[in-house]
Amino acid sequence: MMNKDVIIACDFNSAEQLFNFLDKFDGVEKPYLKVGMELFYASGNQIIKEIKRRGHKIFLDLKLHDIPNTVKKSMAVLSALDVDMVNLHAGGGSVMMKGALEGLTRPDGTRPLLIAVTQLTSTNQELMTNELLIDKPLDEVVMSYALNTKNSGLDGVVCSPLEAGKVKEVCGKEFLTITPGIRLAGDSVGDQKRVTTPALARELGSDYIVVGRSITGAEDPVKAYRQCVKEFLG
């Protein structure tokens, strides 16, 4: 199993927009795709089945966070959709994370990769201290959640490429880092605060880069995707 790839964040709000985008690829390349809440809630399981039928791998980015039993049962439903990667919030705790792993495991022993979100990038120190009442430094909390994720048996975390090295120091080099916040040189940063090129993400040890607007918003998305692959996978 290749644990290094470029994942395109398909932040479209309709199936039509998504398939117009995918039709630009010539049928030989089958990029790994991230489907998030917006598209999933709009188009449900049907869109997942159609993307799989077309031969793409899918990271289903639904970030589950609920009581362990609910997460376990919901993960079993997602696993049956034959997706390749799913995620949850590490803040749900180790019992929830272990339940998720159990729910994901198919009768034949296979399962999608299971990745945790530590603290969202929209959470800053102020919000954590004043609203969540967590008074430790944000970076310490992120690393502690990553270690809890690793100790619960999960495969990796979502983080910035700039944190990938530290995560691997704390959790081991086999522990996967899935890294958004990627821009091709010269592209607009948009609402991202700290961005990294695919080439730098490779140097920093990311396992999967998640690229949205640098590909989906490019004049020639296929060319932009190929550039990301060339820089990141060599």
Note the residues at the interface with ligand C5P (CB under 6 A). Answer: 9, 11, 36, 121, 158, 180-182, 190, 192, 210-214
List the helix and strand counts (H, then E) for the chain: 10, 8
Tell me the closest approach of the beta carbon of residue 124 to ligand C5P, in angstroms: 12
Q: Which residue, 72 or 116, is less far from ligand C5P as judged by CB?
A: 116
Write out the E strands in the chain.
5-9, 32-36, 58-64, 85-89, 113-117, 156-158, 176-179, 208-211
Which of 34, 52, 63, 98 is labelled catalytic?
63
Minimal distance, residue 199 CB to ligand C5P, in Å: 16
* DSSP E strand boundaries for 29-167: 32-36, 58-64, 85-89, 113-117, 156-158
**Angle 159-85-97 from CA coordinates, rounded to 5°:** 75
Contact 78, 54 (CB under 8 A): no
> Is 63 in the active site?
yes
CB-based closest residue to ligand C5P: 212
Q: Which CB sits closer to ligand C5P, 156 or 180?
A: 180
- Judged by beta carbon, residue 44 or residue 190, the one nearer ligand C5P is 190
Smallest gap from Cβ 115 to ligand C5P, in A, equals 11
How far is CA 216 from its chain centroid?
A: 17
Cβ proximity to ligand C5P, 94 vs 121, nearer residue: 121
**Residues ≥6 apart with Cβ < 8 Å to 141:** 118, 119, 128, 134
How far apart CA 50 and CA 139 sit, in angstroms, is: 39
Residue 40: CB minimum distance to ligand C5P, A: 12
CB 67 within 8 A of CB 97: no
